[in-house]
Amino acid sequence: TVAWENIMPKLMASIEAGERGYDIYYTNPEFSYTHWPSLLPLNPYIEKYNYDTSDWFEAAVKYGEGIGDVPDTRYTIPASMVVAPVFYNTEKIPEYPTTWEGYEEVLAENTNPPEEYGLAVAGVPVQTVRQFYARFWSLGDPLLTPDWKPLINNENGVKALEMLKKTIDNFTPPGVLGWDNPDAGAAFANGLCATYEGWTGNVLTFLENPAENKIGDNWAVAMYPEGGTGNMTDNSFAIFKTTKNPDAAFEFIAEFTNKENSKRWAVEYALETPIRSIYD
C-alpha cells in the first residue's frame, strides 16, 4: 500500500527503470491517462471471460473508455465508484440550505471554538481540490473548453477560491489544512463539526462504528448548494504489460469485482460499488 499522492511517482519510476515489479495496480483511473502505454488493453479479456459490464452505472462505462484517445478501449476495471457530497448533522442543522449564503450562515451558527465548528474537510492539497470544484461548478463554468483550454483562471475561478478560503478560515478547526479524509470523517462523526464535505466511505466508516459515532442517526446527505457538485471517481484495477500471467491477473480482478464480492465490500467496508443492481 502506498499513499495516494505517492503512487504516480512510484509507478513512473518503476516503468522508466524497466522493472517487472508490478502485475496489477489499484487506484483512480485518471492515472492511466499518463501511463496507458504500459498497460494491457482489457477488452480481449472481458470478452474471453465473458465478464459482465452491463450492470455498471453509465458513468463507470464512460469514465474508463477512450484513455489515450483510443476509442472503446478499456484499460481499467472499476471496483468502486465514489462521490463527494455534503453530510450534515440534522440536530444542528434541521433544514439544509439551498444557497451558498445560507450554507455559510449555518456553518457560522455552528462554529463556537473550541467546542464545535461548522465544517470538517480534508485540508491537504491533494484532497481540498474537490471543495474548490463544488464551488466553481456551481457558478456555471466547466473546468475546460471543448478544445481543452482551462477556464478556472477567470472571475469564477477567483470567486470560487475566495469562497473556499473564507469557509476554511472561519468555520473549520485549527490544523485542518493538515487533515486527510479519515481525520475529517472522524470529526463529523464525533460531533465536533456540523458538516462534512468529502468522500462518503471515509465518513461512513466512522458513522457505522458505535465506538466512533457520537451523533447516532442524526445525520443526512445532501448536494452542495446552488447546483454545486463534488467530483466523481472510481477506484480501478489495471494490468501492466510486463505481467507474466495476464490471464491470472484478470481472473483475480474479475473475482474481486464480481457482484457477490462487490456487495460484500459495500456492506462490510462501505466501498461504493459501480454495479447498479446492488442498490436495488
| Same-domain check for residues 215 and 243 | no
Residue 192: which pLDDT band, with cuts at 50, 70 and 90?
A: very high
Residue 1: which pLDDT band, with cuts at 50, 70 and 90?
A: low
Please give the model's pTM, rounded to 2 decimal places: 0.83
| Same-domain check for residues 67 and 157 | no
Burial class of 274 by CB neighbour count within 10 A (0 to 12, 13 to 18, 19+): buried
Are the CB atoms for 215 and 192 separated by under 8 Å? no
User: Which amino acid, residue 26?
Assistant: Y
The pLDDT value recorded for residue 71 is 81
pLDDT at 4 over 70: no
| Same-domain check for residues 138 and 186 | yes
**Among 191, 209, 227, which residue terminates a domain?**
227
pLDDT in tens, 36-69: 888 899 999 999 999 999 999 988 888 788 887 7
Residue 245: which pLDDT band, with cuts at 50, 70 and 90?
A: very high
Neighbour order of strands in the sheet with 24-27: 24-27, 232-239, 77-83
**Among 207, 227, 247, which residue terminates a domain?**
227
pLDDT in tens, 206-215: 999 999 999 9
Which H/E stretch holds residue 48?
Answer: helix 43-48
The pLDDT value recorded for residue 15 is 72
The pLDDT value recorded for residue 222 is 96
| Same-domain check for residues 199 and 117 | yes
What is d(CA 169, CA 179) in angstroms, rounded to the nearest whole number?
14
Are the CB atoms for 51 and 253 separated by under 8 Å? no
Question: For 232, what's the count of Cα atoms within 13 Å in the CB-facing half-sphere?
Answer: 16
Strand, coil or helix: 36: helix
| Strand duo 86-89 + 219-222: pairing | antiparallel
What is d(CA 97, CA 116) in angstroms, rounded to the nearest whole number?
19
| Same-domain check for residues 68 and 108 | no
**Among 186, 205, 227, which residue terminates a domain?**
227
pLDDT in tens, 114-138: 999 999 999 998 888 889 999 999 9
| Same-domain check for residues 118 and 210 | yes
Higher pLDDT among residues 2 and 71, named by residue: 71
pLDDT in tens, 86-120: 999 999 999 999 999 999 999 999 999 999 999 99
Strand, coil or helix: 156: helix
pLDDT at 5 over 70: no
- Measured in degrees and rounded to the nearest 5, phi and psi for residue 14 equal -65, -45
| Same-domain check for residues 130 and 247 | no
Average pLDDT, the chain: 91
Residue 20: which pLDDT band, with cuts at 50, 70 and 90?
A: low
The pLDDT value recorded for residue 19 is 66
Residue 41 DSSP class: P
| Same-domain check for residues 100 and 207 | yes
What is d(CA 275, CA 279) in angstroms, rounded to the nearest whole number?
8
| Same-domain check for residues 65 and 95 | no
Higher pLDDT among residues 191 and 66, named by residue: 191
The pLDDT value recorded for residue 28 is 77
| Same-domain check for residues 20 and 41 | yes
Burial class of 244 by CB neighbour count within 10 A (0 to 12, 13 to 18, 19+): exposed
The pLDDT value recorded for residue 248 is 97
| Same-domain check for residues 47 and 132 | no
Q: Give the residue numbers spanning the domain of 68.
A: 4-82+232-279
Per the listing, cell 490544523 goes with 175
Q: The domain spanning residue 247 has which CATH number?
A: 3.40.190.10
| Same-domain check for residues 130 and 171 | yes
What is d(CA 215, CA 210) in angstroms, rounded to the nearest whole number?
10
Q: How many domains does the chain have?
A: 2
